Each structure stands twice: as C-alpha cells, then as structure tokens.
C-alpha cells in the first residue's frame, strides 16, 4: 500500500489570539510516496511552475531540516488548501515534510522536536501547531522555543469565505504597527486571555463577543480585507457566534450553526461577495501517516 501523509489546513489567530491561537480544519494536503531511495528528490504537483519540483521544494526543505541525512524520495502532492488565502498552506507543506522525514528517517523525534523545526521554518507556531496536532492549539514562543497546548473546540459550524484573490502574509504583516501604546496592549492582552477562557469553557456567547475585539492586527488589516466588516455585519444579523480574519487573510471565518449558513451566504452574495463559501469542520487528528 502506498504510504500517504495527510495534513490539515489551519485557521490562525481567531481574532485576539494573534500569532498564538490556531484551529485545524478539514481541508487537506496529501503526499503520496511513489518511490524511496531515489537518485534525487522528485516532487510531482499541479501547483504551477513557481513551486519547485526538486530539493528546493518547501516540503523537502522541511524534511531535510528535521533530518539532513534523509535519503531522497519521489512523491506526489495533492492539495485542497488554496495558496496565500489564510488557511495555512505553507504550514501544511512544512508539516508534511516534517512528518515525511519522521516516517522515513532512521532516527526518532519527539512531537516537541517536530514543533520546533516547523516553527523555526514558518516563523510563528500558530498554524504549524494545529497542522501537527489537530483541534484548537494555544501556542507561544518562550526564549525562542515554541510551546503548545491543545484543546477541543466548542460545537459550532465554521463557514469560511475564501475570496478570489491572494494576500501574501508578508504584505498583510507589512501594515501592522511596530509598537502598541501600553494601554492598548493591556486591553488586547486581556481580551485574548478572556477569549481563551471562553473557548476552554465553551461559552459561545462570550466567544461571539470577544473574538471580534482584536486589537493586535484586524484594525490595521481592515483596509486590505474590506469584506471582513461586511461579513461581520451579516453575522450579527443572522446570529453568528463571531467572525474573524483567518490567519493573515484574506479568508474570513464565521462561527455559525449550519442551519443558518444558507441565509448568511445569500446575504453576502447579495452584497456582491463573489468568493467561495466553504463549510468546514474541525480536524481532530492533525498530521498523520496512512499505510
Ligand atoms: N499569525 C499570522 C499572521 C498567521 O496573522 O500574520 C499567518 O502566518
């Protein structure tokens, strides 16, 4: 049987949990291993000519970052995760490479080592942690090293609005301020603390309120993602449990009971939103090897 590596997409930040909170969702990047011990690395994919098909590929670079002695492999990439949309496509690629190396390496690695290598490549742990471990993850960097706690997410539907344009993380981070005034930082931190408490106690009404009160990034990114305010307003009209910018955007995620999704989508389309609406579920397993 062909060995497959399956890695979920992820939705980071959840509003005030900037660079810290992340959620694994059921869109997947899959690697199919076609041959082992090949003369050189061969990566088959349909992601376009700008994505390398050799050792320069990000998946291979991540695999070699975990184990530089890994023998080359020939594998195929099948991805349901759109690029540069705020659903963790690069983190999924990094985590796929790391799981690939873990599976085929002669060495053994702990989950913490996988997290450390993945975070070093990605720069922050909020997407790689849910891609690795599934569910809701709460992460931070301590003396440069990532720590992650995992928790289950409350029972609520997730509706992603995926616009038909890309937004590079670099561009979306370039609009953020270098510093926050002390009072604003204290408020943003306390909102984030309370949001985590609301998530852990599964208090959906409190989540609905707090997830929309981010002070770290959404106010600065709003001009790049004007559909966020539109969708948030529609969410209020239909009784959603909160709307936030997924990762660096442009995808926007709404916590919404599935029965209310058709009405939400109809209202958004009536306001001229032409992107894709996707109902998602939490991935509870994280990255896994099949076969
Ligand atoms: N926390 C990151 C950001 C996620 O919002 O920029 C994207 O990598």
CATH homologous superfamily of 158-280 equals GHMP kinase, C-terminal domain (3.30.70.890)
The alpha carbon of 74 and the centre of ligand 1 are apart by a number of angstroms equal to 31
Residue 4 near residue 291 (C-beta atoms within 8 A) = yes
Task: Locate the domains of the chain by residue range.
Answer: 4-152+283-290, 158-280
Fold assignment, 4-152+283-290: Ribosomal Protein S5; domain 2 (3.30.230)
DSSP code of 8? E
pTM: 0.96
As a whole number of angstroms, the distance between CA 272 and CA 185 comes to 35
20-51 per-position pLDDT tens digit: 999 999 999 999 999 998 999 999 999 888 99
Q: Which helix or strand (DSSP H or E) is residue 182 part of?
A: helix 182-200
Sequential pLDDT tens for the chain (291 residues): 789 999 999 999 999 999 999 999 999 999 999 999 899 999 999 988 899 999 999 999 999 999 999 999 999 999 999 999 999 999 999 999 999 999 999 999 999 999 999 999 999 999 999 999 999 999 999 999 999 999 999 999 999 999 999 999 999 999 999 999 999 999 999 999 999 999 999 999 999 999 999 999 999 999 999 999 999 999 999 999 999 999 999 999 999 999 999 999 999 999 999 999 999 999 999 999 998
The alpha carbon of 217 and the centre of ligand 1 are apart by a number of angstroms equal to 9
Residue 197 near residue 209 (C-beta atoms within 8 A) = no
Taking CB atoms and a 6 Å cutoff, what residues make up the pocket around ligand 1?
12-13, 18-19, 124, 126-127, 169, 172-173, 217, 247-248
Tell me which of 86, 169, 217, 222 to substitute to probe ligand 1's pocket, judged by most ligand atoms within 8 Å of the beta carbon: 169
């Amino acid at each position: 049987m062909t060995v497959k590596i399956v890695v979920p997409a992820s939705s980071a930040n959840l509003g005030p949990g900037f660079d810290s909170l992340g959620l694994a969702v059921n869109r997947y990047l899959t690697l199919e291993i076609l041959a082992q011990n090949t003369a050189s690395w061969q990566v088959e994919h349909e992601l376009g000519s700008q994505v390398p098909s050799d050792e320069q590929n990000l998946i291979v670079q991540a695999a070699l970052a975990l184990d530089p002695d890994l023998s080359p492999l020939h594998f195929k990439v099948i991805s349901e995760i759109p690029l540069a949309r705020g659903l963790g496509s690069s983190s999924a690629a990094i985590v796929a490479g790391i799981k690939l190396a873990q599976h085929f390496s002669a060495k053994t690695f702990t989950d913490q080592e996988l997290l450390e290598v993945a975070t070093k490549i990605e720069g922050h742990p909020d997407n790689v942690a849910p891609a690795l471990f599934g569910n809701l993850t709460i992460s931070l960097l301590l003396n440069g090293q990532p720590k992650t706690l995992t928790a289950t997410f409350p029972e609520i539907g997730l509706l992603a609005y995926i616009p038909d344009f890309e937004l590079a993380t670099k561009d979306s981070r370039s609009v953020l301020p270098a510093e926050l005034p002390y009072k604003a930082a204290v408020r943003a931190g306390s909102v984030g603390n309370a949001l985590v408490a609301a998530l852990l106690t599964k208090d959906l009404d409190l989540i609905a309120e707090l997830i929309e009160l981010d002070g770290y990034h959404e106010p600065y990114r709003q001009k790049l993602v004007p559909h966020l305010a539109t969708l948030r307003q529609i969410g209020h009209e239909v009784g959603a449990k909160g709307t936030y910018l997924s990762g660096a955007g442009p995808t926007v995620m709404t916590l919404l009971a599935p029965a209310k999704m058709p009405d939400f989508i109809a209202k958004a389309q009536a306001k001229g939103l032409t992107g894709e609406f996707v109902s998602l579920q939490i991935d509870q397993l994280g990255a896994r090897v099949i076969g």
